[in-house]
Amino acid sequence: MNRFVPDWNDAVQKRERNRPGCSSRLRADWLARGQTAESGKNAWRSMCPARRRARHARRLRSPLTILLGALLLSGCATYHPKPLPPAPDLVRLPALMEPASRFHLPGLSPHPFNPAKGLDETTVVTLAVVSNPELKAARLRAGVARAQVLEAGLLPDPLVSGGFSRSPEHTGYSVGLREDLQALITRGAAKAAARAHAREVNLEILWQEWQVAERAQELFIRACANGRLLRLLTQIRDLFANRCRRDQAALKQGNAAAGTVATDLAALAETELQRRQLQLQINQTRHDLNSLLGLEPDEKLHLIGGNQSRPLSSKQFQAAVAAMPHRRADLLALQAGYLSQEQRLREAILAQFPAMSAGVEQARSAEEGIHTIGFTVNVTLPLFNRNRGQIALQRATRAVLYQTYEARLDQAVSQADQIWKATRIMSRQLHDFESCLPPQQRLAAAAERSFRQGNLDLAAYVSLKASLLSQQAAAVRLRVSLARAQSALEILLGLPPAL
């Protein structure tokens, strides 16, 4: 009989061999019976196939585990810090040159420009829409909305569960895989709501761009008019200053009354006050325009040309009012927001049904070693909640958006009608004003000739000339008011800026 064969009964051998690995006591017992190291090793390998298979499986599992972990980690997002800028990014005008290929708008032909030749209204509006710092930040909201659309379309991740137990006889385990079915039911409504919200955000950005364009037009109009007004007020100031110098000289000689000199000094002071106030307005307008264009505060712009807005006839105005809900960006944004809210309400109604999740599970009992596999379903009983709070909230929000849209539409129609009628009134006033200027200009020219010939005194000449210049300044202010009203009317009606 082989001295290396253990002397125990067949039942014990069978029990020990059926274990996942041979007992360490068995190997120690063989060595204690006098086996050599080599023979004991061979006998150990022959009697422990389970041990060999376990070692081989572990050698195979190690690289597979590393590969699987690497694949999982490669799909994960990583964090990269982004510090705030240490200094402003305002630029000089040459850095704002944009290629004409960037602007592919219907009805808008390429408009190349050169800052050295000056900036017209189209150039200023274009640069404002492209380079305004607030618009740059607003456009990033579109990326947030696109991310929300992506999130709404993602399927929920499955839930994996597991457990482990052990007894003297067997090793038990349980593995389960479960998926939330409720998210699949509401997924369509959630995606539709996110898409409508993304459209709402894009239209809100477009509305902001229109407002920036209107603001750029307004500042352009004011900047150009302020230059003309300053020249007129300077001429008036020079006239009164010249008359005051002569009045003071005449007063010293006793040829002028003190009341006359005081009146002339008061007129000079009033003109100088208007001029100083206009200088402050010019400085404010210049800084506002530079800020709108994202330029450095001390950048000086050379503006050329005039306003290109045109008055609307009654037929054109009525047609624009009728098309306003389909063309004005903020109204379109409210429509998209209302559609998004409709889908959120639909999602809340779908979510009132019982929440369900389903999965499969495989297990082995530690007591008996029996393998089982089955299907599990979890259902939430809608007894108390039934998502009634969310449904009431979404319905109330929809009612608010409905009334908000109605109020905005009513307000837009009322404001457009008020400004359109104001433009017609100002147009008639400007026409009457300009029709009176030629006779005054001829009278002032005749007065200047008479003054140079000595047939008219200085006081009468200055009064006539100052009156003409004052009328011209008033006409400039009226043109500015009309141009600003027409620009605002274009925005209110949803008409693109006149480029």
Q: Which among 27, 15, 14, 9 has a CA at the least distance from the CA of 168?
A: 15
Helices (H) and strands (E) in the chain, counts: 12, 4
Give me the amino acid identity at 367: E
Cα separation of 404 and 401, whole Å? 5
Q: For residue 378, what are the β-bridge partners?
A: 357
Residue stretches of the chain with pLDDT short of 50: 1-27, 30-38, 40-41, 43-47, 56-61, 64, 94, 104, 106-107, 498-499
How far apart, in Å, are the Cα atoms of 334 and each of 148, 308, 346?
18, 30, 18
Q: Which among 382, 383, 472 has a CA at the least distance from the CA of 430?
A: 472
All CATH 1.20.1600.10 domain ranges of the chain, comma separated, are 96-492
Please write the tens of the pLDDT for every residue from 458-472: 778 888 888 888 888
Query: Has domain 96-492 been given CATH number 3.40.720.10?
Result: no
Please write the tens of the pLDDT for every residue from 394-431: 999 999 999 999 999 999 999 999 999 999 999 999 99
For tokens 């300077």, the residue is: 234
Please write the tens of the pLDDT for every residue from 287-344: 999 999 888 888 888 888 877 777 888 999 999 999 999 989 899 999 999 999 999 9
- pLDDT given at position 317: 92
Q: Put the strands of the sheet holding 371-379 in their side by side order.
A: 159-166, 171-180, 356-364, 371-379
- pLDDT given at position 373: 87
Instruction: Evaluate whether 317 touches 420 at the Cβ level (below 8 Å).
Output: yes
Q: Which among 33, 45, 41, 25 has a CA at the least distance from the CA of 6?
A: 33
Please write the tens of the pLDDT for every residue from 189-226: 888 999 999 999 999 998 998 889 889 999 999 999 99
